[in-house]
Amino acid sequence: MRYVGKRVLQAVLVLWGLITVIFFVLHLIPGDPVRAVLGGRASDATVQQVREQLGLDRPLPEQYLRFLTDIVQGNLGTSLALNDQVSHVLGQRLLPSILLIAYGMFFAVLIGVPLGIQAALRPNRAADHIIRLQTTFLFGMPTFWLALVLALLFGLVLGWFPVSGYQTGLGGILRSLTLPALTLGLSLVVIVTRTLRSNLIEVLKSEYIEAARSRGLSERRVIVKHALRNAAMPTLTILSTIIGYLIGSTVVLEQVFRIPGAGSLLVQSILRHDYQTVRAVALLSGLVVIAAGLSADLLQAILDPRVRLAR
Amino acid sequence: MRATQPPVPVAVEQKSFVLRAVTSVRELPRSVHIGLVIVIIMVFAAVFAPLLAPYGPDDLNFGASLLPPSPAHLMGTDENGRDLFSRCLYALRLDFLVVFFVTYVSLPFGVVVGAVAGYCGRAADSVIARVTDIMVAVPFLVLVAAVVAVVGPGMTGVLIAVPIISWAMYARLARSEMLVLRELAYMDACIALGFSRFRTIFRHGVPNLLRSSLVFSTVDLMGNLLLLAGLSFLGLGAQPPQSELGAIIADGQSYILTAWWLATLPGLVLVLFGIGVGMVGEGLSDGRVAGRSA
């Protein structure tokens, strides 16, 4: 229990630091967000009025305190460009992004797990070579480019999936998210297969696997029930640490496939200088990363008593 | 003081440095050689783009718009009749320049901060450790995009935003290496000899922890290249008429059915470079492991 408390406290501290960093990065960089959103033709008086309205004319420490209390109360501010509550705008855009990430992870597991198992069981055979090829090719491959190629192939040439837009209904959502999710999944497969492969090889060397085999269990049972269960945990931890990369990818993918998610909201907000919304998206994505790391650690502590006792 | 440095081995090492470098390159696995050739050719092509490009990057020729790849236009032409091959060469030039700058501005800063934090420990160390935790927590692209939101779309935003964030990775690396180094006997010897902290850290510590940061910087270089291309693809990085690979791909997106080469071929340039860098990186880490065990 002490470990859990310590870990939660640490996460809260990092979150506070994140809020602080975002605040200061956005406030210390030269550039006037109010003038940017109002345009060059706005009169000085208007600019001044909006600045006062947003509290931007107050001293920096006071602005910081207000920002902090607002966030604690769940108030993300008002978007100047959209004339709406940021939390309201953001709330409408969250679901597609969450579905996209979950669907992408599903593809990554669907392709990556069998490949990783094969590669671990038969080193230097087909699956192992596929992993090596993937690693080589995907290293320099931009996600947006892979997305375009998949869209060209499966969307335009074969006509299997829509290449842009977001349809309604469960079937429609799944159909319109398939290509972006597949892109996301493919860019993740390398990480899944490589970690699973090395963990599985490590686990297969251990004594309890030998014991399971000597008890006469079938090889299938040994791998699925005994080895995979222990090799899966580090793989999950890795997935939780790359959630930041995943969020970055969805920003690009939502733009390519014209999906109205939080990522495309971010890009649109930047282009219309709506920095309240940008700030909120940055904050939220950081929160997701911190929460993912925290839950992975806690899950591991529940499943593996050594983690709890070691610290 | 001078007598503490044995002069003979140092002299021998310096004499044969070039020779040693050549032989050690020769002994590396073949994949490293192939990778090196790819990387060197592409860097040369980028540096000498004005000499190598058959056309100017912005030469309009409306009589030759949307031509497929041919000997006259190796990668075809775009809707304005601009030669895609020439544009890609110039794009590589811009990409490499920006990426090299942002990566190697972040590296020394991060290494210095990390080394000092790791050596001095205590409060400074905990602060740095937490700050890097935070920097690593936010999705890189999102934070860079947030900075771009304030500075405004364009290369300036990228040039400011990337170093602000990516020094943290180097600081993390250098700090963890320094924590190990600090415990070694030769660092104790530095203190015993009465060297200043500055000299201990920078003359004797940093050279030994630089390697991991340099190795990481090759991966980081590729990551920054993809980031820059991604930002430009989104319209937040390079602005027209600058030729940048991500921006070129974004332009080609609307012609993907009629002129497939516009969006696909520039991406292959990035993939090829990634293959080169990846082969070098992978081979080097394998080679090091083999060398260590031998």
Task: Return the pLDDT at B101.
Answer: 92
pLDDT above 90: residue B290: no
* pLDDT number for residue A256: 87
A90 versus A36: the higher-pLDDT residue is A90
Map residue A74 onto helix, strand or coil.
coil
Distance between B270 CA and the closest CA of chain A, angstroms = 6
- What is the C-alpha to C-alpha distance for residues A87 and A77, in angstroms, rounded to an integer? 8
Q: Which amino acid is at A248?
A: G
Q: How many CB pairs under 8 A join A and B?
A: 173
Closest CA to A185 of A106, A118, A126, A128: A106
Please name the amino acid found at residue B271: V
- pLDDT interval class at B263 (50, 70, 90): confident
Is the separation of the CB atoms in A145 and B249 below 8 Å? yes
- Classify burial at A80, counting beta carbons within 10 Å of its beta carbon; exposed 0-12, middle 13-18, buried 19 or more: buried
- Closest residue on chain A to B267 (Cα): A145
Residue A154 carries which DSSP code?
A: I
Average pLDDT over residues A237-264: 85
Closest C-alpha among B210, B240, B233, B205 to residue B120:
B205
Burial string for B52-71 (b: 16+ CB within 10 Å, else e) reads ebebebebeeeebeebeeee
| DSSP symbol at A80 | T
Is pLDDT at B254 greater than 60 in this prediction?
yes
Determine what percent of chain A is predicted with pLDDT higher than 70.
Answer: 94
User: Which of the four pLDDT bands, split at 50, 70 and 90, describes residue A270?
Assistant: confident
Q: What pLDDT is recorded for position A36?
A: 67
Tokens representing B208? 């030994």
Q: pTM score, two decimals? A: 0.83
Residue of chain B minimizing CA distance to A242: B139
- Greater pLDDT, A95 or A139: A95
Give the pLDDT mean for B143-164: 82
* pLDDT over 90 at A125, yes or no: no
A 65-104 → B contacts, CB under 8 A: none
For the beta carbon of residue B285, count every other beta carbon within 10 angstroms. Answer: 11
In three-state secondary structure terms, A57 is: coil
Of the pLDDT bands very low, low, confident and very high (cuts 50, 70, 90), residue B98 is: very high
ipTM over 0.95: no
- Residues 6 or more apart whose Cβ sits within 8 Å of residue A186: A107, A108, A111, A138, A146
The pLDDT value recorded for residue B41 is 92
For B192-246, the pLDDT digits (tens) are: 888 888 888 888 888 888 888 888 888 888 889 988 998 888 888 888 778 888 8
Cβ <8 Å between B145 and A14: no
**A206-221 pLDDT, tens per residue?**
888 888 888 888 878 8
Distance CA A20, CA A43 (A): 32
Fold type of domain A93-309: MetI-like fold (1.10.3720)
Residue A310 CB partners (closer than 8 Å, separation 6+): none
Q: Sorting pLDDT into bands at 50, 70 and 90, what band is A92?
A: confident
Rounded distance, CA A207 to CA B6, Å? 50
- Residue A75 CB: number of other CB atoms within 10 A? 14
* Closest residue in chain A to residue B253, using alpha carbons only: A148
Average pLDDT of the residues in A287-291: 87
pLDDT at A243: 84
At A40 the pLDDT is 64
Residue at token pair 């041919």: B70
> A240 — contact with chain B (CB < 8 Å)?
no
Q: Which residue of A has its CA nearest to B219?
A: A139
pLDDT for B6 beyond 60:
no
Closest partner residue to A251 (CB to CB) among B138, B141, B249 is B141
- Give residue B112's pLDDT: 92
> 3-class secondary structure for chain B?
CHHHCCHHHHHHHHHCHHHHHHHHHHHCCHHHHHHHHHHHHHHHHHHCHHHHCCCCCCCCCHHHCCCCCCCCCCCCECCCCCEHHHHHHHHHHHHHHHHHHHHHHHHHHHHHHHHHHHHHCHHHHHHHHHHHHHHHHCCHHHHHHHHHHHHCCCHHHHHHHHHHHHHHHHHHHHHHHHHHHCCCHHHHHHHHCCCCHHHHHHHHHHHHHHHHHHHHHHHHHHHHHHHHHHHHHCCCCCCCCCCCHHHHHHHHHCCCCCCCHHHHHHHHHHHHHHHHHHHHHHHHHHHHHHHHHC
Q: Is A166's pLDDT higher than 80?
A: no
Q: What pLDDT score was predicted for residue A307?
A: 66
3-state secondary structure B225-257: HHHHHHHHHCCCCCCCCCCCHHHHHHHHHCCCC
Q: Regarding beta strands A84-85 and A78-79, do their DSSP bridges make them parallel or antiparallel, or are they unpaired?
A: antiparallel
Q: Which residue has the higher pLDDT, A98 or B157?
A: A98
Report pLDDT digits (tens) over B16-51. 666 776 777 777 778 788 888 999 999 998 888 888
Structural domains in chain B?
Answer: 77-293 (1.10.3720.10)
pLDDT above 70 as % of chain B: 89
The residue-averaged pLDDT of A154-162 equals: 79
| Whether the predicted pLDDT of B111 surpasses 90 | yes
Mean pLDDT taken over chain A? 81
The DSSP bridge partners found for residue B83 are B77
Q: What is the pLDDT of residues A12-53, one digit of tens each?
A: 888 888 888 888 877 776 666 676 666 667 777 777 877 777
Residue B239: predicted pLDDT:
82
Which residues in chain B have their CB less than 8 angstroms from residue A36's CB? 152
Chain A contact set for B139 (CB, 8 A): 244-245, 247-248, 285-286, 289
Provide mean pLDDT across the span B77-85.
82
Among A122-126, A267-271, B112-116, which stretch is predicted with the lowest mean pLDDT? A122-126
Q: Give the three-state DSSP class for A85.
A: strand
Checking if the pLDDT of B288 tops 70, the result is no
Residue B264 makes CB contacts below 8 A (sequence gap 6+) with: A145, A148, A149, A152, B252
User: Binning pLDDT at 50, 70 and 90, where does residue B7 land?
Assistant: very low
User: Does residue B92 contact residue B46 with C-beta atoms inside 8 Å?
Assistant: yes
Which residues of chain B are within 8 Å of residue A30 when distances are taken between CB atoms?
151
pLDDT band, residue B291 (cuts 50/70/90): very low
pLDDT for residue B108 is more than 90: yes
CA–CA dist B214, A157 (Å, integer): 44
According to the model, what pLDDT value does residue B292 have?
A: 34
* Of residues B121 and B17, more confidently modeled: B121
Residue with tokens 């345009």: A39
**Tokens matching residue A42:** 């706005």
Per-domain residue ranges of chain A: 2-87, 93-309
Q: How far off is chain A from B147, nearest CA to CA, in Å? A: 7
pLDDT at B100: 92
